[in-house]
Amino acid sequence: MPKPPPQATPSRFALLADLLDFTDDPGFASPHQAPGVRFRPNHWLLVDGGRIVGTQVSADLPDDSWARFEAPGSLVMPGFIDSHVHSPQLDVIASFGTELLDWLNTYTFPSETRYADPQWAIEGATRFLDALLAHGTTTAVVMPTVHKRAAEALFAQACQRNMRLITGKVLMDRHAPDGLRDDVTQAQKDCCELIERWHGTDRLSYAVTVRFAPTSTPEQLQMAGRLLQRYPGLYMHTHVAENRDEVRWAQELFPEARSYLDIYHRAGLLNERGVLAHGIWLDDEDRALLRDTGAQIAHSPSSNLFLGSGLFDWAAAERAGVRVSVASDVGGGTSLSLLRTLADAYKVQALQGTRLTAWKALYGVTLGAARNLGLDHEIGSLSEGRVADFALWDLAVGPVAARRLYVARDVHERVFAFLTLGDERNLVRTFVAGKCLYQR
């Protein structure tokens, strides 16, 4: 296959490969009965002006007005969507030996303090976004730090890459070290300036970003709720019910609330654009509240296993009407690879009696995540008219994976082996708005 450098991607090109995306939620059905799976082997994907303009079978050769590239046997999927990840935590990924609250104090907070330095913030944002692309992720809901400049750096760097990004300055005015606390008045001013500068600019959206309830005063949570009312279309991004000690602490700090989730509800923070990471330790009333408000849970299986937080029951949450997507949650999570994250999700669900198919798993980081974020008109599939955010993958890397692929009996078995054995080493190229921004 010809390999033009990323910066020289033609504006009008056709790529021949196996195309996999989804038109609907496959659910937890048998892989051979799952609806919504769209697998088109040996098809041309047509890209013009940064958008997908069609597909056609290999025999229907695009004319000479198209730059043509062939990758027979490789897989094209929509760019992955990471529903919850921490940009400054690449420096603390794979840190040993603590649960959530100790982990924050021992590793995370000291690292995040360094983002007060403007140059550090720019370098960190650049490194993080390039790392996302090198793992096949083209869209993310990102938690930076409390520093306004850290959010500015992320917005600016994402804008340069034309990435779809959702982020915002972290709100945290108590129970955090010096250099990582804001106050209600200044935080509101910073948020408003960031919203008015960046929200809706190119492919960027602002998220009112509460670190988690214990590190915000009731006054700050109320301010966050007012921001959502003042600026329609904002997202809300936070954590909830990740760890049992955290849940107990939140209940001690907010005794008037029925539950940890209710703390956010009382502040007006739950709506259809709410993204809450984890949600392991919720009860039936909480799940009903999520259903009724439309807020989603960002399931973070790798992080939950690594920190020993617990097992999230994806199937039970969806039976209760809760929307669920999938997140790496780096640095509690141990890889930005959403393939690795989905392999962990399979294990977490298997421990609870549910077998997660490759279809349901991949739907959760493509069309499912796009729908939950209200962005399926733009991203999440290979449908005509969508922005050309997609990745080209090798199904197998190395002799073990190659052998497994060779003996696979059907398409699901091949894709499931890819999901289970694959990682960023399988990634060949990542395209954002039709431009190749990562090339192996």
In the prediction, which pLDDT does 102 show? 86
| Distances 189 to 115, 167, 224, 228, 230 between C-alpha atoms, Å | 19, 16, 12, 14, 13
Q: How far apart are the first and last CA of the chain?
A: 13
Identify the CATH number of the domain defined by range 80-336: 3.20.20.140
pLDDT at 6 over 90: no
pTM for the model? 0.96
Reduced to 3 states (helix: H, G, I; strand: E, B; else coil), residue 29 is coil
In the prediction, which pLDDT does 7 show? 52
400 burial type by CB count under 10 A (0-12 exposed, 13-18 middle, 19+ buried): exposed
pLDDT at 2 over 60: no
In the prediction, which pLDDT does 100 show? 78
Pick from 175, 134, 172, 174: which is nearest to 150 by CA? 172
Reduced to 3 states (helix: H, G, I; strand: E, B; else coil), residue 188 is helix
Letter string b/e over residues 187-214, b meaning 16 or more CB atoms within 10 A of that residue's CB: bbebbeebbeebbeeebbbbbbbbbbbb
In the prediction, which pLDDT does 151 show? 97
Pick from 433, 432, 429: which is nearest to 3 by CA? 429
| 6-79+380-439: CATH superfamily | Urease, subunit C, domain 1 (2.30.40.10)
Q: How do the residues of the chain divide into helix, strand and coil, expressed in percent and rounded to 5?
A: 40, 25, 35
Reduced to 3 states (helix: H, G, I; strand: E, B; else coil), residue 378 is coil
User: What share of the chain has pLDDT > 90, as a percent?
Assistant: 93
What is the identity of the amino acid at 422? G
pLDDT band at 8 (very low <50, low <70, confident <90, very high): confident
| pLDDT tens profile 169-193 | 999 999 999 999 999 999 999 999 9
User: What share of the chain has pLDDT > 70, as a percent?
Assistant: 98
For the chain, the domains span 6-79+380-439, 80-336
In the prediction, which pLDDT does 22 show? 98
Helices (H), 323-383: 338-350, 358-364, 367-372
* Relative orientation angle of helices 411-421 and 338-350, to the nearest 10 degrees: 110
Angstrom distance (rounded) from CA 309 to CA 307: 5
Identify how many contiguous H helices and E strands the chain contains and give both numbers: 16, 16
